A and B are shown apart, each in its own frame.
Chain A
Amino acid sequence: MILRGLIICFCVVPVLSGLAGIGFPAFGWFPPLGSEQFSFSFFIMLWDQPGLFQSLWLSLFTALVSTFLSYWLAMMLLAYLYDQSRSGWVFRFISPLLSVPHITVAVGILFLLQPSGWLFRFISPWLTGWDRPPDISLAPDLYGYALILGLTAKELPFLLLMGLSALSQIEVNALRDRAKLLGYGPVSGWFYVIQPLLSARMRMPVLIVMIFAVSVVDMAIVLAPSIPSTLAVRILEWFWDSDLEFQFIAASAAVLQLFLALLCCGIWFVFGAFLMRGLQMMSRRGIRFAVSPIAAQGLRLILLTLAVIPCLLSLVGLLAIIIWSFANVWRFPSFLPDVWGLRSWGYASGDLIQAGCNSLTLGFSAAALSVVIAIIWLENRHGKRWEGMIYIPLFLPQASFLFGLQMLLIWLRFDGAFLTLLWAHFLFVFPYVILSLASAWRRFDNRYLDVAASLGVSSWRRFLFIKLPMLMIPILTAFAVGFAVSSALYLPTVFASNGRYATLTTEAVTLAANASRQSLGVASVMQMTLPLVVFMGCDFYTRIWASRFRYFRRA
C-alpha cells in the first residue's frame, strides 16, 4: 500500500505533470513568455514548418519498419532455435549487443557504412578503382534505412530476451509435441500454437520498442537524414532554438509526437490482429505448410542470415570503432590505419575518466536501487494489478514530458542535483528491471518456502537464505540490464542534470555531432566497455554461484 503510493508519487505524478508542462505551452498558455491566451496558433505554425510531413513520415516509417523487423526476426529465431542444443552460439553472439548503448551501435554503423567507411575501404581501390570516397552514402542515407538498421540491431536482442522470458511461462514442449501429433511441422506448429500465446505476452515489450523508436534522438542524430530529420530530433532543435517563439512550436510538436506514437501502436495492433485472424483461418483449414527437409533447411539458413546481418554489421562497426580509437592517421582507402598510436586516448582521457566515473556511479546506484525496490514490489502479492503504472515513462515519448519536467524541477529547485539525476534514471531503469525480473520471480516454486516453514524457519530467514539465493541469477541479470539502460540514457541525463553530470553517453553524443573520428572512437570504446564489463562480471559471478549449488547438490 505504502509502496504503491510512493511509486505513484515518484513515478507517475512527475511524469504526468511533465506532460502538462508541455501541454499548456503547446496550446499557447505560458505566462513567463508573455502568452496567456489558449489558442491553436502554434499548431498552425508547426504545420507551416518546412518539411514537417517528411519528418513525420520518416519517424513513422523508421519506427514501424524497425519494430516489424526486430519483432519478427526475433520470433523466427525463437521458432527455429528454441531448445536446439547447437543454437546457443547465436544467443551468445547477439547478447553483447544488448548491453552496448544505442549511440555506440549508431557510431559503429556510421564508421562501417559511410563513404569513407570500412566497407568501401575493404573494396577500394582494387575492386572499385576509388582512390577518393565515392559521393554515395549508405549511412546516413536519405531515406532512413541506416536508422532502421541500427534500431533493428539494437532491439532484436532485447525482444529475443523478452521472448525467451515469455516462453518460460508457456509449456512449449508439450504444446509442440501435440502439434506434431496432429501432423504439423515444427515451424507451422509453432506459429499456429505457440505464437498466439507468445504474442499476447510480447505486447508490452513491443510497445516499449515502438515508442522508443518513435522518440529516439541520439541514434537519429547520427544515422537519420538531416534535412529534414525525424520529428524527435527536430523537437530538440526547436527547443534549442535561440528564437523563443520556437519553445511553443517545440511543445506543440511534442504533443504531435504523442499522437504519432499512438498512431504507430494503432497501426501495429490492427496489423497484428489481421495477421492473427489470417493464422486462425489457415489453421482452421488445416494448412500445414509441408515443405521438404532440404527446403526447410534452406529457409532456416535464409532467416538466420537475415536476423544475423544487422547484428553482424553492428559488431563489425564496433570493431571499426576500436581501431579508429588507436589510429593517429588513417586515410582513405587504407584498410588499416597508416599510423597507429594512442594520441586520441591522451587527448580525451581526462574528461572521459570523469564521465566514466559518473556513468559508473549513476549506473550502479540506479540499478541497485531499482533491483531492491523491484524485489520489494514483487514480494508484495497485490503488486500486479498496479504494474501498468510503472511502465508509464516507457509508454510516453521522452520529449513529450521531459521538457515539462525540467520546468517543474527548476521550479522546485531540484534541478542539477545528483539525487534528481538518480531519480530520473530510476524512472527508466526500474520498469526494465521489473520486466526482466518479474517472470522469474513469479515462477518461483513456493513449495521450497513451505518446506522451510514447516521446519520452523522464520519468514525473513526463508526469504534471505532460500528465495534470494535461488533467484540470484535473475537478480544479477536484472542488475546488468538496469546498468545498461542507465548507461544508455541521453535525454533524461541532459535534462535532469542541467548538463552538469557528463556521462559517457552525453560525451559521445556531443563528440558524435562534432569531433574527429579518433576522439569519438575513444569515447565509444569506453562506452561499450563499461556495461559489457558489468554484464560479464554478473555472468562470471552467476557461474560461480551455480557451481556452488552443484557442489551442494553433490554433497
Chain B
Amino acid sequence: MRIHNHTKHLMIIICCVVVSIFPFFMAKADDFSSISSQATGQTVYFNAWGGSPAINAYIRWVGKRVEEDYGITLVHVKLTETAGAVTRILAEKASGKVSGGSVDLIWINGENFATMKNNDLLQSADWVSGLPNFALTNPEKIPGIISDFGTPTDGLESPWGRAQLVFGYDSAYVATPPISAEMLAKWIKNNPGQFSYPKPPDFTGTSFLKQILLEVSPDRSVFSKPADQADIDQALMPLWQWLDQVHPYLWRSGKAFPANYTALVQLLGDGEISIAMAFNPTEFSNGISQGILPDTVRTYIHDDGTLANVHFVAIPFNAAAPEAAQVVANFLLSPEAQIHKADTAIWGDPTVLDLSKVSASDQAAFMALPRGVATLSETDLGLTLAEPHPSWVGVIEREWARRYTGQ
C-alpha cells in the first residue's frame, strides 16, 4: 500500500514535471513555427561584407532557398566596411527610429558585436537558443559559439561559420615555411620585400597583429581581460619591437600595405610576395581552383597555434522583419546550408555544427567534401589560440596607426 502510495506520488511528480516541461518544449517548437508563418512574405535586408564574389554567390543561393521554403525575400546589402552599417543603426537609434530599421540581419563578430551589445543596438532578448537548428551545435566542443572574443553572446547572435588564421606560401620560392613569430621575423629579414599584411584596421591585418602579440608576449593572460585593467604600453611593447625590426624589410619597405586579405592573396598570386595569410583555412585552395594562385601554394600554421574564432549573424533592435531574420539565421545553421558553405567549390567556410548531432546522411555529406590541395587536415589545424578580449582591438589599431602612419 505504502509502496503504491509512493509510486503514486512519484507518478504525480513525474507527471507534473513532464507537464510543466512539455509545454516548454512545445512552446519552443510552436514559437518557431509561428515565427516562420509570420515570416512569410517578409523581406530581409542582410547587411554583409560584399567583397568576395564566392561569398556573394553563396548568399544569393541562400536567398533562393529561403524564398522556396519560407517565401522570404533576401536582399544582400553589400558592405565595404561592416562598422558602416553599425554606424547607420546607431544613427537610426539616435533619431528615434525604434522599428522599421534598415538592417534586418547583420554579419558580425568580435569588436562590432561588443560595440552593438554595449550600445543596445541588438535585440533585447535571447532569440538564438529558440532556433531549432541551434541544437545541432555544441558549445562545449566549440566554446566560441557562445563566447565571441570572450564576450558572452547571450543568445543575441547566431553562429554561422568558423575561421582560423592560416598562412599560405608559394613552395616555388619558400622551401621551409617559418612556423613561429620569431622564425617569421628572421625569414622576412632574409627575404626583403616578400612579406606584408593587410593594413589595420582591416580584420585580417588586426588579427595578424594579435597573433604576433600573443606569440611574443611573455604573459598571455593579460589579454583575456579588458585592456583597461592592464598596463597597455608594457603589454604591447613586444609587438612594437617585433614590428619595428621587420617593417623595413616588408613589401614596399612597410610604406604601403594591401587593403585586405583578398588583395594580399592576389599579391601572392602575382608573385610579388611569397607568404600571405587569410582567416579561412580553405582560402588558398579556393585561390588555386580559381586560377588566382599557382598550384605550388601550400598552407601552414604557427607551432603555438593560430587565432581561431566564430563568426555570427545578429538582428538589430529595430529590425523591420525580425521574424524572417530569425528564419534565415536558422536556415544558415541547417545541415543543408552548412554543407553547401563548407564546399570549397562554393565558399569553403568550416561548419559550426557538431557532426555527431546531425543525421548520418548529412554526416556522410560533410565527410565527402573535398578539402582542396592546399588545405591542412583538421588535426593539423587543431592548435588554436583564443582571441584576446575585444577591447584590445581598438587599442592595438590606434597605437599601430600612431606609430606607422606616414612614416
Contact = CB atoms under 8 A, between A and B. Distances in A.
Question: Is B a genuine binding partner of A?
Answer: yes
* A142, A241, A407, A509 — most chain B CB neighbours (10 Å): A241
A541 interface: no
Interface stretch (A11-19, A66-74, A221-229, A263-271): A221-229
Contact of B252 (A137, A240, A343, A350): A137
A500 B102 contact: yes
B161 to A, nearest CB: 18
Nearest to A245: B394
Interface stretch (B49-57, B224-232, B330-338, B370-378): B49-57
A455 interface: no
Nearest to B170: A132
Given A50-B405, A410-B95, A500-B77, A516 B292 contact: yes
Given A32-B93, A331-B294, A500-B77, A516 B50 contact: no
Given A227-B255, A242-B112, A244-B115, A516 B95 contact: no
B182 interface: no
Contacts of A23: none
Interface string A401-418: 000001100110101100
Contact of A227 (B80, B111, B199): B199
A407 B88 CA distance: 9
Contacts of A115: 270, 272
A329 to B, nearest CB: 4
A294 to B, nearest CB: 45
Nearest to A519: B53
A30 B87 CA distance: 14
B314 interface: no
A62 interface: no
Nearest to B255: A142
Interface stretch (B133-141, B207-215, B258-266, B299-307): B258-266
A117 B260 CA distance: 19
B316 to A, nearest CB: 12
B266 A517 contact: yes
Contacts of B199: 226-227
Given A116-B272, A351-B60, A515-B262, A499 B193 contact: no
Interface in B254-295: 255-257, 259-260, 262-263, 266, 269-272, 290-292, 294
A217 to B, nearest CB: 11
Interface in A319-349: 328-329, 331-332, 339, 343-344, 347-348
Interface size, B (range): 35 or more
Interface string A391-432: 000000000000000110011010110000000000000000
B35 interface: no
Nearest to A337: B291
Interface string A463-488: 00000000000000000000000000
A511 interface: yes
B197 interface: no
Contacts of B2: none
A406 B91 contact: yes
B81 interface: yes
B95 A500 contact: no
Contacts of B47: 499
A247 interface: yes
B350 to A, nearest CB: 21
A344 B199 CA distance: 27
A510 B80 contact: yes
Contacts of A519: 53
Contact of B402 (A50, A416, A518): A50
A135 B94 contact: no
Contacts of B154: none
A242 B86 contact: yes
Contacts of A195: none
Interface residues of A, number: 61
Contacts of B78: 351, 499, 502, 506-507, 510
A328 B291 contact: yes
A244 B252 CA distance: 33
B394 A243 contact: yes
Interface in B82-102: 83-88, 90-97, 100, 102
A84 interface: no
Nearest to B251: A135
Interface string A504-526: 00110111011111110000000
Given A411-B95, A507-B78, A140 B256 contact: yes
A239 B87 contact: yes
Nearest to B81: A240
Contacts of A242: 83, 86-87, 111-112, 115, 394
Interface string A154-189: 000000000000000000000000000000000000
Contact of B270 (A116, A228, A510): A116
B252 A332 contact: no
Nearest to B49: A514
A343 B78 CA distance: 21
Contacts of A517: 266
Contacts of B57: 347, 350
Contacts of B257: 226-227
Contact of B52 (A237, A239, A514): A514
B24 interface: no
A351 B201 CA distance: 28
Contacts of B266: 516-517
B29 interface: no
B75 A500 contact: yes
A380 interface: no
Contacts of B92: 410
A51 to B, nearest CB: 4
A389 interface: no
A443 B201 CA distance: 55
Interface in B144-197: 193
Contact of A241 (B45, B56, B83, B85): B83
B259 A329 contact: no
Contacts of B290: 343, 516
Contact of A228 (B100, B251, B260, B405): B405
Contacts of B95: 32, 407, 410-411
Contacts of B53: 344, 347-348, 511, 515-516, 519
B272 A227 contact: no
A515 B52 contact: yes
A33 interface: yes
Contact of A514 (B115, B263, B269, B402): B263
Given A50-B403, A135-B251, A137-B256, 6 more contacts: A133-B271, A227-B256, A239-B84, A244-B90, A332-B271, A517-B266
Closest 5 CB pairs of A and B: A514-B51, A32-B94, A51-B406, A51-B405, A329-B291
28 contacts: A32-B95, A116-B271, A135-B251, A226-B257, A227-B257, A227-B404, A240-B80, A240-B81, A240-B87, A241-B83, A242-B115, A328-B291, A339-B291, A347-B53, A351-B76, A407-B95, A413-B97, A499-B47, A499-B85, A510-B51, A511-B53, A513-B80, A514-B50, A514-B260, A514-B263, A515-B51, A516-B53, A518-B292
